[in-house]
Amino acid sequence: MTEGTHKGLLIALSVLWIALVSGYMAWGAINHAGLYRWLADLQVAQTGGYYPRWTGIIPALLLCAPALWFLRRLADQAAAAQPAGPAAEAQRIGRTARITASAGIVAGIIGVGAFVMAQGVPDGSEPALDFNLAVLGSGAPVPTHKVRIRGNVDPDATTGVTETGGDADRSTLYAGFRPDSGAKDAPLSLFIERNVAGGAEAVTAQAFLPDQDGYLVENGLPALALSDLEARGTAVARPHYVLRPGGDGPRTPYYVAAALGGLVCVVCLIVAVIGAVQARSRALRA
């Protein structure tokens, strides 16, 4: 393997690593899962709260730092080795354009992969199948398709998480849901999730019908909501489940990743084409 091929491989791996880390942290923030959730739980345990945006941004920057340092180091070495003049400038611009194009291709591959993976999960249009709430916690398999569960909301076991950003607050309510024949003091195994625009709307969003549709998510309560319930003396089962509304289905995070990958791909390719044209123009003047 030549030195140029070796450097090219390291550049491709660095770009791929940055894309994968960014996608993984975005997935964790959307689904409140993985490393993002672990860090959020750690903050809640230590301080009683967490910072939604910085919980994703800071770890992503730290994980990408070695790859970013390597790419910057290569760029500085190449710049120092190149003589001054239009020809050298054309080579630098052309090299930057090739790196940008590579990043765009990687982002496009990730976007296409996310779209393909989305086709293997429910899209939210399938009919909900009746599911007995009492089965949760019994060891029986928990369905991954949309379910319909009948029961009643426990008004004393409702909590929520509010995120402040921009011009509006976004609140997510979690209402404890018990089977019709369930004991009032039994540990709660199910919570209904509802997203509302702000605190005022949250007050009026606590009316729930006896029949609820959605997808079951194991241990889906955020750490902040779980700690609030435990502080109020509400027993929560291990494991517990969150019923998320099935309007968009589980495909939504995949489609978000696919859209972001496609957007980054298009932007990088446009920038790369502009850079290639500039490099050619300078090379002709050299």
Domain coordinates of the chain in residue numbers?
3-121+253-285, 129-244
The overall longest dimension of the chain from CA atoms, in Å, is 84
Burial-class residue 63 by CB neighbours within 10 Å (0-12, 13-18, 19+): middle
- Taking a C-beta distance cutoff of 8 angstroms, is the pair 161, 175 a contact? no
The answer to which of 6-20, 81-95, 220-234 has the lowest mean pLDDT is 81-95
Q: Give kind and range of the element (H or E) at residue 150.
A: strand 147-150
pLDDT value at 234 more than 60: yes
The answer to which of 126-135, 166-175, 237-246 has the lowest mean pLDDT is 166-175
Q: pLDDT tens across 158-177, in order?
A: 887 766 554 445 677 888 88
Can you say how many angstroms the Cα of residue 128 is from the centroid of all Cα atoms in its chain?
A: 26
In this prediction, residue 156 has a pLDDT band, given cuts at 50, 70 and 90, of confident
For residues 256-270, give the mean pLDDT.
88
In this prediction, residue 84 has a pLDDT band, given cuts at 50, 70 and 90, of low
